[in-house]
Structure 1
Amino acid sequence: MARYQESGCVQRRPWEVPFTAEPRVVARVRRAIRLHLSLWGLSDLEDVAQVCVSELVANVITHVGPGTPVTLAVSTDGAHLRIELTDPDARTMPTLLAPTPGAESGRGLMILDAMADRWGVISRPDSKVVWCELATGPEASREQPTNPRVAQAEMTIVRHRSLQCSSSEEVSPLATAVAETAAIDLIADVLHWLHAHGCDPDEALDRAQTHYEAELEGARPGNGHV
């Protein structure tokens, strides 16, 4: 049940998060992808990926409508970073057009086409997926072997910084999903570290679960805690 690698490397597990496509959410989506790319060792793609995500969300807001439920999915096969945005409108298909001079819209797909290595649309009976891919480069195509102690500390700092940036914002399904993913990844990172140092991850999880349950029991009213 524990997922770890023999090498102790950081795994780039695919992730996805549903949210509502609205202008005020775009900044949170950008932070989410920046966080994950930093954890994956793909910081050099952060700026381009954030622009691509912004344009994908903006395209839905403009052509499908604000408040549309969408799902963002991000993954990598080692050679490319793939970003997908799924929305429920199978009728409105994005088309790359050359906007007229002075046009205030219609440039989103031109930006996506210019920045991504490739992009496209997958049509489904009740939805569509607009995707783009960015080349990760030969060095980023390999898992990043690093000292587990250093990796754990660095990732914890990155996550902490990300949570600080959004601490003043309202709690949203997107923010909750990002925080949950970060927490799960942190647990997995600790399992990597334990395994790399000859410890039994399953035994450690059992002991942690025992401590957690004991603390919950001790914190209940009537158990001597104020």
Structure 2
Amino acid sequence: MAECGFYLSLRPDGFDLHMSAGPEHLREMRERVFKELCAAGVEETVADAARLVASELVGNAVRLCGPWAPVVVQVTSSPGEVLVQVHDPEPAVAPRRRHQRPDNDRSESGRGLWILDVLAPGWTVHPTAVGKQIRCRLPYQGRNCA
């Protein structure tokens, strides 16, 4: 599926999405993550967690690189695990882990990496030739998405 700034390539175990990170594409990406994982039989709570992880990572890329940043979102499901990978063009800034809840419950930012640490502990950052890729593994038990 291709449209201006949005190219989706489906695979038997997931998908690769090349996109410019604008508001419409972000909505479509979130929907696609949830829909494809549920179609693969992944638990609904895990599909929702993967959607949130992908959204946070793309949001971080937009904050670093600006609106319409070119990103690649890759989602793969296998028995017992979902892998979410987001590639952005900013090589110099790797996110830092947050091992405790943010201090201010009313702030409108600062929770993304804490959420990442909770949902995908052990996430990793890998430099690439054109930026970096963040990999998040979401383990789960069973398969029963509605």
The TM-score range, normalised by the shorter chain, is: 0.7 to 0.9
Q: 1:12 to 1:78 in 2, by over 3 A?
A: farther
State the distance in 1 between where 2:37 and 2:43 align. Answer: 6
Task: Give the AA of the match of 1:28.
Answer: E
1:72 alignment partner in structure 2 = 73
Contact 1:23–1:58, Cα closer than 8 Å, also in 2: no
C-alpha contact (below 8 Å) 2:49/2:119 kept by paired residues: yes
Corresponding residue number in structure 2 for 1:15: 15
What are the ranges of 5 or more consecutive residues in structure 1 without an aligned counterpart? Answer: 1-10, 145-157, 159-226
Residue correspondence of structure 1 range 33-52 to structure 2 within 5 A: 33-44=33-44, 45-52=46-53
The residue type equivalent to 1:75 in the other structure is T
CA separation in 1, counterparts of 2:122 and 2:37? Answer: 19
Determine the C-alpha separation between the residues in 1 that align with 2:32 and 2:122. 22
Shift of 1:116: 2.0
Q: Structure 1: which 4+ aligned runs deviate by more than 4 Å? A: 97-100
> Helix, strand or coil for the counterpart of 2:70?
strand
> Which has the larger strand fraction?
2
Deviation at 1:117, TM superposition (A): 4.1
1:12, distance to aligned residue in structure 2 (A): 4.3
* Cα distance in structure 2, aligned partners of 1:131 and 1:120: 5
- The one-letter code matched in structure 2 to 1:81 is V
The answer to which structure has the higher helix fraction is 1
Matching residue of 2:86: 85
Shift of 1:88: 1.3
Q: Count the aligned residue pairs.
A: 131
Q: Which amino acid aligns with 1:115?
A: L
Q: Normalization by structure 1: what TM-score? A: 0.52
Question: What are the ranges of 5 or more consecutive residues in structure 2 without an aligned counterpart?
Answer: 1-10
CA RMSD, Structure 1 to Structure 2 (Å): 2.4
Structure 2 partner of 1:149: none
1:160-182 superposed Cα distances (whole Å, 9 cap, x missing partner): xxxxxxxxxxxxxxxxxxxxxxx
Fraction of identical pairs, as percent: 27
Cα distance in structure 2, aligned partners of 1:126 and 1:19: 15
Partner letter of residue 14 of structure 1?
A: G
How far has the Cα of 1:108 moved from its partner? 0.8
How far apart, in 2, do the equivalents of 1:116 and 1:37 lie? 16
> Is 1:60–1:68's contact at 8 Å kept on the other side of the alignment?
yes
* Secondary structure at 2:123 match in 1: strand
> What code does the residue aligned with 1:92 have?
V
